[in-house]
Amino acid sequence: MPPIADLALFALALVAAGVVSGLLAGIFGIGGGAVLVPVFYQVFGYLDVPEAVRMHLSVGTSIAIIVPTSIRSFTSHRKRGAVDVALLKSWIVALPLGAILASVIAAMISSIGLRLVFVSIALLVAVRMLFNRDSWRVGDELPTGIASQFAGVVIGTLSGLMGIGGGVLNNTYMTSFGRPIHQAVATSSGVGVLISIPGILGYMWAGWGLPGLPPFSTGFINWVAVALIIPIALVVTPLGVRLAHSLSKRQLEVGFGVFLIFVAARFLFSIYT
């Protein structure tokens, strides 16, 4: 068991992560999971959580925190009229289905495999954001019908595997079809709600009864971390929303891209050291 001083330091790290998580939820329409997952991975490591379940626990706990931060971000963005409500309604089944599929995959995949999924998607999206050009646009209108439903399932599945609320992928998806980054960010907050609620149930099931999980965990969700971070993130999220609407499209894209590269590098370091 780590010394009390170390536990206090880890608690402070979680509190700081809650602040950053809330800001990111508002600025980028994401639930903050891209920050929380690597922080949780580090903290659970110091608490001697076994490698076999550490990444899964980090992802599941992040998913649980995304619920309130996404709801808070969604209500703030919707008041500004920036959310594409029609798109969210069309994905009412596809996104939760993808989140459930992610939990099934998580129950079978290794810790390194889960980290590589995180890194691969983060780097792809970072390149898209940093070097974005109009010529990279896939089309001028978002797909409809089966194509749209397929996109929703893919976004839900990959986001569930990363422990994020879907903002990372939905921002890329919507801007690739000519939607403004601010609308994509606002809509992504609603995507997070549709992914995280079924995601909680899925990760609870996926880790149910496994050995090595820390106290106060239900499956792959640790409620101590959830209780520490949620209140802070809820207070900070509206500040992120205001900041998002004060930044230019290019500033949002570059900031998002740099942030994702930093996170991907941190996980690659954890895999090969």
Domain boundaries defined on the chain:
4-271
Q: Is 217 helix (H, G, I), strand (E, B) or coil?
A: strand
Q: Is 140 helix (H, G, I), strand (E, B) or coil?
A: coil
CA dihedral sign of residues 12, 13, 16, 18: negative
- Cα–Cα distance measured from residue 60 to residue 201, given in angstroms and rounded to the nearest whole number: 9
pLDDT of amino acid 249 = 67
The distance in angstroms from the start CA to the end CA of the chain is 23
- Cα–Cα distance measured from residue 194 to residue 212, given in angstroms and rounded to the nearest whole number: 30
- Cα–Cα distance measured from residue 92 to residue 102, given in angstroms and rounded to the nearest whole number: 16
- Cα–Cα distance measured from residue 216 to residue 54, given in angstroms and rounded to the nearest whole number: 15
Q: Is the pTM of this model over 0.85?
A: no
What stretch of H or E contains 218? strand 217-218
Q: Answer yes or no: are the C-beta atoms of 78 and 239 closer than 8 Å.
A: no
For 244: left if phi > 0, alpha if psi spans -120 to 50, otherwise beta; the answer is alpha
Average pLDDT, the chain: 84
pLDDT surpassing 70 at residue 201: yes
| More confidently predicted of 87 and 73 | 87
pLDDT surpassing 70 at residue 92: yes
pLDDT surpassing 90 at residue 46: no
- Cα–Cα distance measured from residue 70 to residue 193, given in angstroms and rounded to the nearest whole number: 6
pLDDT surpassing 90 at residue 4: no
pLDDT band at 195 (very low <50, low <70, confident <90, very high): very high
State the angle between helix axes of 223-244 and 51-79 in degrees (0 to 180), rounded to the nearest 10. 40
pLDDT surpassing 60 at residue 153: yes
Query: Range with the lowest mean pLDDT among 137-141, 160-164, 231-235, 269-273?
Result: 269-273
